[in-house]
Amino acid sequence: MDALLTALADPARWRLVSLLAERPRSVGVLAQLAEARQPQTTKHLQTLERAGVVTSERTGQRRVYALRPGPLRDLAAALTRLADTAEQGPEGGGPLATYARHALSLDAERLAAQQPGWADGRSFRFRRSLVGSPELVWRHLSEAALLARWWTPDDLRVSELVFEARVGGRIVQEYRDAEDADGSDLVAGRAEGVVEDVRPGERLAYRLSPLLPGGGPAFTAHVEYDLRPTEGDAGTDLDVHFRITDSTVDSADFIAGIEIGFGQSLDTLAAVIAADPHGIDTRSTK
């Protein structure tokens, strides 16, 4: 496949392949149609033949080349598989679709971020019905080892986490690319904050500020979790209110990812609890 891709990457050779797709032709005729010198055309054809995309035979004084469709069909199938992989997910809602949605959000937020305070008062609400009890959900919201299992978007992992579940307690959240196994890539993000309200099994509130590359806060997020037992079963209804203050002009890129990223995190929380609804396995998976 590599040899085929290399051979087809040259525009002159691609032109020859296009001509041979119409019918087999001799070197001399191909050189005329391609408006190229015959020795140069011969070299290109030899490269294509080594790559397996054309074949040739001598007829009298001429050498005639013909296209081999099989390798092109194999390449087309491989490209189709790549496209299908990129679009995988329910109704095309895979990583590529998420990337496109985020790009649209980035454009809109960057356009809106003209002065400090531009996003103050913006809020997001999230609701999830979870299969675990309020006590179990509370543990996943307040214990660092359990938080680390879900508290990032899908393509990231927690690399440092401090969460002191008491009023005035310190919060530090650092995350990296999920595939950055050795930590050699740049940190994807870091946030610092403080816990403001703690009512075990019922309510948790904190403020958290993502940090800009220079170290200053991008904005302040005021996050409130309210838990209540699901009526009629042993589950939990979780309501989350995410409100922004102190927004800087440079916060646009952070704010653009809130709805998608925080939503993905809560979806992961739901999946983690569903996999262990009784809280037996508390090992970190990220």
State the DSSP H helix or E strand holding residue 227, giving kind and residue range, or none if neither. strand 220-229
The reported pLDDT for the residue numbered 87 is 76
The arithmetic mean of pLDDT across residues 198-222, rounded, is 96
Q: Which residues contact 165 (CB under 8 A, 6 or more apart)?
A: 142, 143, 195, 198, 204
Question: What is the pLDDT of the chain when averaged over all its residues?
Answer: 93
Are 264 and 153 in contact, with CB atoms under 8 Å apart? yes
**Number of other residues whose CB lies within 10 A of the CB of residue 87:** 14
The arithmetic mean of pLDDT across residues 241-270, rounded, is 97
Sheet holding 54-59, edge to edge: 25-26, 62-67, 54-59
Angle between helices 38-50 and 11-22 (to 10 degrees): 80
Percent above pLDDT 70 for the chain: 96
* β pairing state of 123-130 and 156-163: unpaired
Domains in the chain, start-ordered, CATH in brackets? 2-84 (1.10.10.10), 115-275 (3.30.530.20)
Residue among 172, 130, 241, 191 at smallest CA distance from 138:
130
**Reduced to 3 DSSP states, what percent helix, strand and coil does the chain have, rounded to the nearest 5?**
40, 30, 30
The reported pLDDT for the residue numbered 40 is 97
Q: Kindly state the DSSP code that residue 75 receives in the 8-state scheme.
A: H
Is pLDDT at 90 greater than 70 in this prediction?
A: no
Taking CA atoms, 61 is separated from 24, 33, 64, 109, 147, in Å, by 16, 19, 10, 68, 76
2-22 tens-digit pLDDT: 999 999 999 999 999 999 999
Return d(Cα 74, Cα 163) in angstroms, integer: 52
Predicted structure pTM score: 0.76
The reported pLDDT for the residue numbered 286 is 42
The reported pLDDT for the residue numbered 89 is 58
Are 104 and 228 in contact, with CB atoms under 8 Å apart? no
Judged by average pLDDT, the poorest of 40-44, 103-107, 136-140, 273-277 is: 273-277
Is pLDDT at 232 greater than 90 in this prediction?
A: no
Is pLDDT at 92 greater than 90 in this prediction?
A: no
